[in-house]
Amino acid sequence: MADGSAKQGRNPRTVLLLRPTFEALEDVLAKRFHLLRAWESPLPLAEFLAAHATAIRALFIRGNGSVFVDAEILSSLPNLEIIVTNCVGLDLIDMAECAKRGVAVANAGNVLTEDVAEYAVGLLMDVLRRISSADRCIRAGLWPITGLFRLGSKIGGKRVGIVGLGHIGSEVAKRLDAFGCIISYYSRKQKPSFSYTFYPNARTLAAQNDVLIVCCALNSDTYHIIDKDVMDGLGKQGIIINVGRGALVDEKELVRRLMQGEIGGAGLDVFDNEPAVPRELFTMDKVVLSPHCAVYTQESFADLFQLIVDNLEAFFSNRPLVSKVTEV
């Protein structure tokens, strides 16, 4: 392995990047590893990969806006052994193909969990208490003119259904519990270690709740898990908070209901067709929108960059990966 690389004059600690990522992260990685930046080559991707295939054992892929790592890319990289991603979500990697080829995947593990969980809580509180809406009014100079603002809705006592009680979902639940929310959930498997009420599907969960917080992974089972039926169950005052992936929600249906007053409100960090954000949402007071930044904190970035480095160092030293994905 080291032999073969030396013969071709290639650096054994080579990491392939398909798209640019954070400058700071690239700097950190470039100091320790040999980075192959696919986008800098004039060659089309397939040819570029063919030219460098022998040397590539490690691939780093970023999230949002990245290339989908499919069978074709994987076939072009016969020596690939690991993929490291800065996301928790694995929807940009064909995990089945990786398993077939023995390619290990290391994701963000738990370092982003609290950041996302608290952001979901923040979005819900903003929607219920109309914080962004009020902030907008003040900045438009309207407080002295309009006087009384539209009242918000109390957080305590709200029935909150968590869709996906994984790491993120359970951290959301723990926080909202302290506000007096009534927590229930739907997950692939029931979790007996939690005392929250379990529902066998998203539809029955929605029917018993005022709020749905979508925290699950996007895969073939969960595409449009929040669909028309679920929204019917949630009702006219219902609120949806999505910090998972846009495609977890039937976005067209959600936008239609928001426009027609058939749903109470929404807090959305993710959208079906990023980078596009549906234009209808911008005139609404009952939605809070953010550009897929629920993980963006100084602390998460520091921890995440360190984790990525640690995973790559472990790999190149033949040690176990730090945050290997074991269950998909």
- Binding positions for other proteins, rule: CB under 8 A: 20-24, 62, 64-65, 114-115, 117-119, 121-123, 125-126, 128-132, 134-139, 141, 143-144, 147-149, 151-157, 174-175, 177-180, 274-280, 282-283, 288-293, 296-301
Element housing 207 (H / E): helix 202-207
Our CB check for other proteins shows the closer of 131 and 314 to be: 131
Our CB check for other proteins shows the closer of 111 and 230 to be: 111
Q: What are the residues facing 160 on neighbouring strands?
A: 183, 211
Nearest to 217 by CA among 119, 92, 311, 322: 92
The Cα-based distances of 127 to 104, 139, 262 in angstroms read 40, 18, 16
Q: In terms of C-beta density within 10 A (0-12 exposed, 13-18 middle, 19 or more buried), how is residue 303 classed?
A: middle
What minimum distance in Å lies between the beta carbon of 275 and other proteins? 4
Cis ω for the linkage preceding 275 (within 30 of 0): yes
Q: Are 215 and 244 in contact (CB under 8 A)?
A: yes
Catalytic residues: 245, 274, 292
How many CB atoms are closer than 10 A to CB 99? 12
What minimum distance in Å lies between the beta carbon of 138 and other proteins? 4
Our CB check for other proteins shows the closer of 2 and 145 to be: 145
SS3 205: helix
What minimum distance in Å lies between the beta carbon of 154 and other proteins? 4
Our CB check for other proteins shows the closer of 113 and 187 to be: 113
The Cα-based distances of 296 to 12, 22, 303 in angstroms read 32, 12, 11
What minimum distance in Å lies between the beta carbon of 204 and other proteins? 26
